[in-house]
Amino acid sequence: MRTLVTLLLLPSLAFAQAGAPPFIPVNMMKVEATPLSSTVNAVGALIAEDSVMLRPEIDGRIARLRFSEGQPVKKGAVLVELDAAEQRARVAAVRADLTLAETRFKRSEELVAQNFISRQALDEARANLDILRARLRQEQVALDKTVIRAPFDGVVGLRQVSVGAYVGKGSDLVRLDALSTLKLEVPVPETFLSRVRIGQPITLTVDALPGQTFSGRVHAVDPVVDPVSRNVRVRARIANPSGALKPGMFVRASADLGGKTRAVVLPEQVIVTRPDGNYVFAVVDGKAALRKVVLGKREPGRVEIVSGVTEGETVVLDGQIKLRPGVPVVTPEQAAQMMKKQQAGKPR
């Protein structure tokens, strides 16, 4: 698959004494295209399709809990009731004021028609009527907020309160999670972004459920690439009709991205990492040449080279720390020949 050439180079001092340029001992290998799996693997944790911690929007005392922990509930089901006696009294009071205001407004209309009162008095009666109608709506909304309902179909978690407890608005009551469909978010290297598509199937295995496999499909790709990791977040949906999968479970996902089947793949030790990118030392005309490369898929011990070196070139396998661009290198045969010539040229 690869031709590995070990360069056993003579010490630079010996060549320098013979008038030859110095050489740096390194190992090299010839670059060849090799089969590359188009499957990308990633790990992540499952999250619920929808998840919310239910919290009251008003202060109040818990009057009733109408759910059982860990049980499924339907959208719109009443889960928690706050004591609403005071709020119902406020609604009744405003409604009584509104009834009186409506009667006064009708009478004012009759008196204006008979020119017994001014138009201004009628306008004031109308404004008072509108104010009371708005107050009634406001108090009714507050009354409705004493009843907390499920915003979607899901499974309730463990309750955080008990009946009789006084809670302020924003206090945690109980979590609700939609578990019929779960989501998985995994990082994918940006080099694969062009081959990730919506609807792409994925396969999952879960450590907590050995021997079982699950399937899902990609449904969203983050439009922003992380500038540090150079990864893009990909989110998939996984059907969970049996409820075997739970949010937070650790999963291993794989997807066949298709595309190329052969690529330039080099050992990871070839890569020279610098603050401004990744490099390799290529051998050009017997000298070391620093090349910036773009990395692709990683596999255990090796990495795909998207650009920077091509098939047929030779790269330095190790010893890069001693290299500088332009330093000459030789093959083992050339080194042996130079040694023979050096020995032959010495006076006896």
In the chain, where are the structural domains located?
3-36+261-345, 39-50+178-256, 55-167
**Beta strand residue intervals within 138-286, DSSP E:** 147-149, 154-156, 166-167, 174-189, 201-206, 213-225, 231-239, 250-256, 262-267, 272-274, 277-284
- pLDDT tens, position by position, 141-154: 999 999 999 999 99
Confirm whether pTM is higher than 0.85. Answer: no
pLDDT for the residue 194: 79
Task: Using pLDDT thresholds of 50, 70 and 90, give the confidence band for residue 13.
Answer: very low
- CA atoms of 145 and 138, how far apart (whole Å): 11
- CA atoms of 12 and 20, how far apart (whole Å): 9
213: pLDDT strictly greater than 80: yes
pLDDT for the residue 79: 96
* 39-50+178-256 fold: Elongation Factor Tu (Ef-tu); domain 3 (2.40.30)
Do 39-50+178-256 and 55-167 show the same overall fold?
no
Lowest mean pLDDT among 35-49, 195-209, 264-278: 35-49
Residues 98, 166 contacting (CB under 8 angstroms): no
> Does the 55-167 domain belong in CATH 3.40.50.150?
no
- pLDDT tens, position by position, 84-105: 999 999 999 999 999 999 999 8
pLDDT for the residue 245: 92
* Residue matched to tokens 């994918």: 188
pLDDT for the residue 14: 41
22 exposure class (CB count in 10 Å sphere: 0-12, 13-18, 19+): middle
Q: What is the dotted CATH code of the domain comprising 3-36+261-345?
A: 2.40.420.20
261: pLDDT strictly greater than 80: no
- CA atoms of 289 and 150, how far apart (whole Å): 65
